Amino acid sequence: MPTRTTSSPAKKISAAEAAALVKSGYWLDYGGCLSQPDVFDEALAARVSELTDVGFRSSLAAKPRAVLEADPEGIHFHYYTWHFSAYERAKADAGICFHIPPNLGEISDYYRRFIAPIDIVVLKVRPADANGFFSFGPMNGWQRTLVERAKTMIVETSTAIPYVYGVDNGVHISEVDYVIEGNNEPLPELASPPITDVDRAVARRIAAEVDDGACLQIGIGGMPNAVCSLLMEAGVKDLGVHTEMLTDGLVGLYKAGIVTGARKQLDPGKVVFTFGQGTRAMYEAVDRNPDMLCCNVEYTNLPHIIMQNDKVVSINNTTQMDLQGQAASESDGHRHISGTGGQLQFTRGAYASKGGKSFICLSSVFEKKGARKSRIVLNLTPGNIVTTPRTDIMYVVTEYGIVNLKGKSVPERARAMISLAHPDFREGLERQAFEQRLIPRAVYPVQGQQRKTNTGA
């Protein structure tokens, strides 16, 4: 596996000594999720007044970052992320954290083709094993590419990082310049949001479409986790997992014996993922578990790989859809809230899979400033980012139904989307669709008159 070699053996240094290597104008990379360093981050934050224009790339910060807390106006440190966590979203609202839009499965290629070599890469890893390998734990992602592109490679060790089997899921000591001993504090946990009645209603419709031997990709959130709960009751068997994010819901299916991977074409018997984030129970489940396979994000997320498994079922959330089927899943106007992640790539991979199905799910309404609003609209909110184009959408699910948009005309799509909206909004949507010539006829009340049928080209 080693592809990068150092001129001298890795040297053990303190976090302060490692932070002293950083110069103004440097670019650093913290990897993502649970791989982000702690003691190095704190030591570098202590140097905030000495440095200018230091850039950071990272993703899904699982806890506060000391460099951001030390520089609340973003004067000295500039922080960029591939996918927002709740913490990064708050810092973006404060104007000191910014998004880099990716398809997650392409990030390794961005580093190889479009991003200059990185001055310093710092990753939290498990202490080296007997063969000199530091495990990345449950975060493979694009880590290997960071190692290859690093001018200076630093690891911060932590015994809290589980040892996770995978393909190239670690860095060898021969590739490392410096080793910092970390604080060994427990990993931050990400609790699953509570499951609502709407989540259950949506999940019930999706679960009915999952056959024995299906291969699952499930995103984060209450609805996908509700699907996992209902699959435990549905009697399906021999499910497989080839996913971007490993969640507690998927681990629950594995523990229940419902996920066996026995019918997978790729990696039979293995739960394949590129990163895992959840509760302590999940971290314990992946530790030295030979059934778990943590792979790089190109392997998990690129559609031509995903499609090689049969009956791929991709389940992801969105926040708003228009009547033609565009899904806006990552922003509220110009306010960015998450990221594209793997949604588009898994939607495409599932569709291309033999017998595959992709599901985009959402609740029909939401509350904002005390007002109830429809998530299904004529026009997306101005500034909203289209995560999945209308041409890629397959199944759409709300608590009011499920429709398949593949092969449907614009009028058929509009009527199908209206059928998924909350009943209180359907008439208004139908009127708007008629006025904008998305549908050739509409039935709606004319003020002061009985209901009237209108026709038009």
pLDDT digits (tens, 9 = 90+) for 38-75: 999 999 999 999 999 999 999 999 999 999 999 999 99
**What's the rounded Cα separation, in Å, for the pair 169 and 273?**
11
Look-up of token digits 């904008």: 436
Q: How far from 61 is each of 38, 114, 447, CA to CA, in Å?
A: 11, 23, 53
SS3 category, 404: strand
Beta strands in 91-157 (DSSP E): 97-99, 118-125, 133-135, 150-157
**Beta 150-157 vs 118-125: how paired, if at all?**
parallel
Residues comprising the chain, all counted: 457
Q: Give the residue among 359, 83, 351 at the shortest CA–CA distance from 226.
A: 359
Distant-in-sequence, close-in-space partners of 24: CB < 8 Å, separation ≥ 6: 51, 52, 53, 54
How far is residue 117's CA from residue 153's CA, in Å, rounded to a whole number?
11
Could you tell me if residue 448 is inside a domain? no
In a domain, 442, yes or no: no
Q: What Å distances lie between residue 24 and 319, 327, 380, CA to CA?
A: 40, 41, 42
In a 10 Å sphere around its CB, with 0-12 CB exposed, 13-18 middle and 19+ buried, how is residue 449 labelled? exposed
Q: What is the pLDDT of residue 223?
A: 85
Domain count, the chain: 2
Final residue of a domain: which of 126, 150, 181? 181
Q: Nearest CA to 389 among 345, 433, 333, 339?
A: 345
Same domain, 204 and 93: no
| Residues 128, 274 within the same domain | no
* Same-domain check for residues 146 and 224: no
Provide the CATH number for the domain around residue 175: 3.40.1080.10
Whether residue 173 is found in the same domain as residue 203: no
- Which of 128, 151, 181 is the endpoint of a domain? 181
Active-site residue, selected from the candidate residues 42, 88, 156, 244: 244
Q: Is residue 439 part of a domain?
A: no
| Integer Cα distance of 129 and 395 in angstroms | 46
> Residue 358 falls within a domain, yes or no?
yes
User: Are 397 and 202 contacting, i.e. CB atoms less than 8 angstroms apart?
Assistant: yes
Q: Are residues 116 and 262 in the same domain?
A: no
Amino acid 225: pLDDT: 82
Amino acid code (one letter) for 232: M
Identify whether 64 is part of a domain: yes
Is there a single domain that holds both residue 213 and residue 175?
A: no
Question: What's 371's domain CATH number?
Answer: 3.40.1080.20
Same domain flag for 73 and 27? yes
Same domain as 398, residue 290: yes
Residue 342 lies in a domain: yes
10-residue stretch averages of pLDDT, the chain, 457 residues long:
69 97 98 96 98 97 96 97 96 97 98 98 97 97 98 98 97 97 95 89 95 94 86 92 96 97 98 96 97 98 98 97 98 95 97 98 93 97 98 98 97 97 97 94 49 41
Pair (129, 216) in one structural domain: no
Task: Among 141, 157, 181, give the residue marking a domain's end.
Answer: 181
CB atoms within 10 A of CB 291: 15
- My answer on whether 386 and 264 are in the same domain is yes
For 261-281, letters b (16+ CB in 10 Å) and e give bebbebbeebbbbbbbbbbee
pLDDT value of residue 457: 37
4-13: pLDDT as tens digits: 667 677 899 9
> Within a domain: residue 81?
yes
Looking up tokens 């702690």 gives: 38
Is 175 marked active-site?
A: no
Structure confidence at residue 452 (pLDDT) = 42
DSSP element (H, E) containing 316: strand 312-317
| Entry pTM | 0.93
Distinct helix (H) and strand (E) counts, the chain: 15, 29
Range of the domain at 383: 197-431
Q: Do residues 240 and 278 share a domain?
A: yes
Residue 171 placed within a domain? yes
**Residue 253 and residue 152 share a domain:** no
